[in-house]
Structure 1
């Protein structure tokens, strides 16, 4: 994790209220407060205690949403954000480092989705969607011996 960079005090006209950030980002204010609680985004406070976000927070929120769209957790998004500057756009090299770190995780996600797609087709074929009763896909419920959960849909479950 890189050391925080010294930041100039932003001009008050460059700061966004939580409502404006919500409007611009498309996220509910409750989601923004949650992101702040997790340390994904940061706000300054006015003398009256109101949150103010720098415009660069819009980029961070877009980044978080992109991470979630590809199946990354908020913790994984935070780890990536910790590697990027908070108050300016990342350089190409900084972004490449994050993108490279995501490659294996995205490949894992793709493999999980392909596995799910292949297995789900067999269950949809009979329409029962009940692995405990399915005479074709799980006769005698032998998958239960392998542990809890959707054993046929879990990657590496070994059923």
Structure 2
């Protein structure tokens, strides 16, 4: 059930990293949310933005597991409270890994540790390629993709 994706981005790891952790990068590539975090291992984070609960809807949240600038970002992930009543029991792990390959960056996303019958699995399988494509486009061109929403 693991979701694994590999994208090659025409930029250095530092620029790709900024799309993953900076307010502007996250807002542009993660559907208008920002990431609220100290990025300290063991601390909480949340992707927050417009949604069902208004401008401060928590879309996903969890705990930072690894934070190695320009290399690895890993965290547990729970759906936000407005998405699922038992959100606290629905946990997966997300790991972004960056690797310089020539003059580009290989971005690998692994979303694993899915419990059986997790209600967000199909949605995640559909939306991760959109997010990753948006990151690639944003880092390479400064623009984002229009998904018609």
TM-score normalised by structure 2 residue count: 0.30
Q: TM-score normalised to the size of structure 1?
A: 0.28
Q: In proportion to residue count, which structure has more helix?
A: 1
Please say which structure displays the higher CA radius of gyration.
Answer: 1
